[in-house]
Amino acid sequence: MAILEVDNISKRFGGLLALNDVSFGVEKGEILGIIGPNGAGKTTLFGVVSGFIAPSSGDVRFDGQRITGISPDRLTRCGLVRSFQIVQTFADMTTLEVVTTAALTRRPLRQAIDYAAEVLTRVGLGAKLDETPATLSLQDKKLLEVAKCVATDPQCILLDEVMAGLTMAETEAPMAIIRELNSSGVTIVMVEHVMPVIMRMATRMVVINFGEKIAEGTPDEIIKDRKVIDAYFGEHLDA
Ligand SMILES: Nc1ncnc2c1ncn2[C@@H]1O[C@H](COP(=O)(O)OP(=O)(O)OP(=O)(O)O)[C@@H](O)[C@H]1O
Ligand SMILES: [Mg+2]
């Protein structure tokens, strides 16, 4: 059963058609990978799905309900949450306070604080509860983004390049967390440029180029797709 349906979404920014009639479904419990070159429209797509950006046309359905135009905080309460590619930091808050704010989605304050500490520990930031996000390393900032999502108890998480900028060794921790979340029933949609990571993690993939979906399939199918090779991998795969 599809938990998320993207139906004919287009998004125009002035003269730029950032998304052009994009449709696909996300099955409950899967890990769907979304790839595409820089500027393809991946983050815009996440913005539309998560309620941050109003589409020019098309609809999004979550759990069978039309959610187009519903605010991000209401969607978070419905169980659909996203991470941000550009990590947002809050100057005066500690990591515990940041994640507690997210945990308040479903819990009263005292439980939210305890749950936030538990989630931060689960992602490996248990020793950094009192640090401000600005002082964290890039890897830890990314883990904090994941923790913020997890603390809302989502059914479906949209992860926008949580591994970007990390070394292969550093991707192990977020990969393990994402797999664990998925095993506990959370549907994952992830945009990722780190190809070895997305190929290993995704059960299915969607490829976007210049705002259009150009391919959809298993990682094995995608890596052999001529349109994908031309658009995304360029010459280095042929070399
Ligand atoms: N708010 C905006 N106003 C105008 N143009 C925008 C806006 N947001 C994105 N764009 C443009 O829309 C296109 C798609 O951008 P988007 O950020 O969705 O791409 P992306 O696939 O996430 O790229 P990257 O891999 O670099 O993160 C780009 O040309 C971008 O410049
Ligand atoms: Mg992006």
175 and 214 fall within a common domain: yes
On whether both 43 and 129 belong to a single domain, the answer is no
Distances from the Cα of 101 to the Cα of 92, 120, 158, 187, 188, angstroms: 13, 13, 19, 22, 22
The tokens describing 100, both together, are 């507690």
pLDDT value of residue 170: 87
| 102 and 206 part of one domain | no
Domain boundary residue among 153, 177, 195? 153
d(C-alpha 90, C-alpha 32), whole Å = 30
Residue 171 and residue 200 in one domain: yes
Residues 10 and 55 occupy one common structural domain:
yes
Residue 64 domain boundaries? 2-79+155-237
Do 109 and 180 have their domain in common? no
Pocket of ligand 1 (CB under 6 A): 13, 16, 18, 36, 38-44, 85
User: Residue 161 has which token pair?
Assistant: 């390049």
pLDDT the model gives residue 234? 63
Answer yes or no: is pLDDT of 210 > 50.
yes
The verdict on 17 and 115 lying in the same domain is: no
Whether 173 has a pLDDT exceeding 90, the answer reads no
Final residue of a domain: which of 132, 153, 174?
Answer: 153
Our mutation pick for probing the ligand 1 site, out of 9, 17, 34, 44, counting the most ligand atoms within 8 A of Cβ, is 44
Q: Is residue 93 located within the same domain as residue 75?
A: no
The residue ranking higher by pLDDT, 90 or 212, is 212
Extract the tokens encoding 69: 């135009």
Q: Give me the residues paired with residue 192 across strands.
A: none
pLDDT at 105 over 80: yes
> 227 and 160 in one domain?
yes
CB atoms within 10 A of CB 70: 17
pLDDT at 233: 61
Pair (165, 230) in one structural domain:
yes
Residue 162 tokens read as 């949580």
19-39 pLDDT, tens per residue?
999 999 999 999 999 999 999
Q: What is d(CA 103, CA 85) in angstroms, rounded to the nearest whole number?
A: 21
- Mean pLDDT over 84-107 rounds to 88
* pLDDT reading at 238 higher than 50: no
Contact 181, 150 (CB under 8 A): yes
CA distances from 181 to 156, 169, 209, 221 (A): 10, 20, 29, 25
Same structural domain, 215 and 186: yes
- For residue 225, the domain's CATH number is 3.40.50.300
| Model confidence at 237: pLDDT above 80 | no
Question: Taking Cα atoms as reference points, which of 147, 187, 153, 212 lies closest to residue 33?
Answer: 187
**Number of independent structural domains in the chain:** 2
Domain match, 214 and 187 both:
yes
Distance 109 CA to ligand 2 centre (A): 33
Cα of 164 to ligand 2 centre, how many Å? Answer: 10
Pairing of β 212-217 and β 204-209: antiparallel
- The pLDDT confidence band at residue 85, using thresholds 50, 70 and 90, is confident
Computed from CA positions of residues 118, 166, 212, 25, in that sequence, does the dihedral angle turn out positive or negative? negative
Q: Work out the average pLDDT over 11-16.
A: 96
Beta strand residue intervals within the chain, DSSP E: 2-13, 16-27, 31-35, 57-62, 65-66, 80-82, 156-160, 187-191, 204-209, 212-217
Give 209's strand partners: 212
Going by pLDDT thresholds of 50, 70 and 90, the confidence category of residue 86 is: confident
Instruction: Choose one of 124, 153, 182: the last residue of a domain.
Output: 153
141-154 confidence digits (pLDDT tens): 989 999 999 999 99
- Which of 43, 56, 159, 209 to probe ligand 1 with, by most ligand atoms within 8 A of CB? 43
Share of the chain above pLDDT 90, in %: 78
**Tokens for 14?**
């002035």
